[in-house]
Amino acid sequence: MKKIAFIAFLLAVCVAAGRAQESRQDISLSGTAIIEPFIASSTDVQVHSNYGLGALASYRFMLTPSSALEANYGMTYQNTIRYIISNTNNYNILTRNEEISAAYVRSFTYRKFNPFLEAGPGVLIFLPIRNSSTTLIDAKQAMGIGGMYGAGFAYEISPSFDIRAEYRGFVTKVPTFGDTLLDTKRWYNVFNPTVGVAYHF
């Protein structure tokens, strides 16, 4: 009986000590949208698109109470990119988009509100969906190497959970899908707002 009481006491102490320690890691899952701007170029190519919806998963490791490193993986689905060449030829490409990125995060604490800024390198992958909505049959996967940046805030709802909202951007070259006719020689500043929940551990 004494051994059981001693083990129970040790478990209680360990749980209390674990709760007393500051969380140094968190994972988050967010709903996201991808909004690509209108692009007009000197090569007589114009690019329009509609928005796509998806999800973003992130992992943060705290280096200090106010700075962290972050890794992200996101996917959005069914975003149509429309190319207009010399105002006559139209090509539609229905895509899935994947993001793989890393960032340095600087946060600020105001009671339960924690604003933050972040920036880092990343890859945005454009995956053509081959169906009747894609009119360029030879469209190939396009990979854009660039950088992401963002600003947002986290609101603490408990010691383990917070709600995050962020405006994110991704800067990369406009994809050509392997076709030189679609080359705008321009860069995209893709808008990527997110809202989600983070768990600290």
pLDDT for position 22: 62
pLDDT for position 87: 81
Residue 70 has pLDDT above 50, yes or no: yes
Residue 100 banded pLDDT, cuts 50, 70, 90: very high
Residue 23 has pLDDT above 70, yes or no: yes
Per-residue pLDDT tens digits for 156-193: 999 999 999 999 999 999 999 999 999 999 999 999 99
C-alpha to C-alpha distance for 31 and 193, rounded to whole angstroms: 9
Residue 200 has pLDDT above 50, yes or no: yes
pLDDT for position 195: 98
Q: Which CATH architecture has domain 24-200?
A: Beta Barrel (2.40)
State the average pLDDT for the chain: 89
Q: Are the C-beta atoms of residues 185 and 42 closer than 8 Å to each other?
A: yes
Residue 15 has pLDDT above 70, yes or no: no
What is this structure's pTM?
0.84
C-alpha to C-alpha distance for 170 and 118, rounded to whole angstroms: 12
Residue 63 has pLDDT above 70, yes or no: yes
Phi, psi angle pair for 19, to nearest 5°: -70, -30
